Structure 1
């Protein structure tokens, strides 16, 4: 059974956690990749509807769920990945340093295939699930600033 099948949809809380020691450009890249991946993998019911402004211009649907971008460090991210993976109420997308450094998806896939789980250095993580489960792991984390 995949992790997606374990989590009831739609979720009511999500969060992205990024390594606060990354340069700003790499941190924003990690957040964008994770948000895109989360939406594509588990986007059921997360988008609102298209809206119109007073002039009738249509603005395409955006996420109806707030997505706080939180900060941790590499050690905290590794611990968070382990805790999230063990919680069947959470959907998780991780983003590693290997993924961020890859030139293309084949490079990423090849490099990940040569690594053990213990070798991963995480630069970000996206979580989705019910509010209680997400807050349990991220509630005390500071916002990324």
Structure 2
């Protein structure tokens, strides 16, 4: 997705066990890296001339919230122009294949999806408006 993104916040359900939370962050980050053009900077060279693969070129705080917060953010973000959202649900995390995930997700209305993680990317103002009240994941 092309866009002038200044920030991308990842929000995780605060009830997730640590291993599941880290899996959720990884899945969201991979999707953002694939679909958001320019989020990963160019390779950089160190003082010895060795190249280091580019990393994110914008801030990506990891935040935590209640499951209801994630659902509200996902629904509100879908209505905002210039905001890109990747969601991750308990359905995705518990499915054994992508086919199973797509089949099971197709049976659930949007407002009833069990969101456990979101990546919200866009301008600083809309991302902060959607996620600014949430605490950092610690």
Q: Please state which band the TM-score falls in when normalised by the shorter chain.
A: over 0.9
Q: Note the alpha carbon deviations across 1:68-108, whole angstroms, 9 max, x for none.
A: 00000111111111111111231111111100111110110
- Check if 1:99 corresponds to 2:92: yes
TM-score between both structures, scaled by the size of structure 1: 0.90
Tell me which stretches of 4 or more aligned residues in structure 1 moved more than 6 Å: none
- Check if 1:35 corresponds to 2:29: yes
Equivalence for 1:137: 130
User: Does the CA contact (< 8 Å) of 2:75 and 2:111 recur in 1?
Assistant: no
- Check if 1:52 corresponds to 2:39: no
* Alpha-carbon RMSD: 1.2
Structure 1 unaligned blocks of 5 or more? none
Matched residue pairs, number?
138
User: Does the CA contact (< 8 Å) of 2:6 and 2:59 recur in 1?
Assistant: no
Equivalence for 1:22: 16
- Check if 1:124 corresponds to 2:117: yes
Q: Secondary structure at the match of 1:71?
A: strand
Structure 2 unaligned blocks of 5 or more? none
User: Does the CA contact (< 8 Å) of 1:10 and 1:46 recur in 2?
Assistant: no
TM-score between both structures, scaled by the size of structure 2: 0.94
- Check if 1:74 corresponds to 2:67: yes
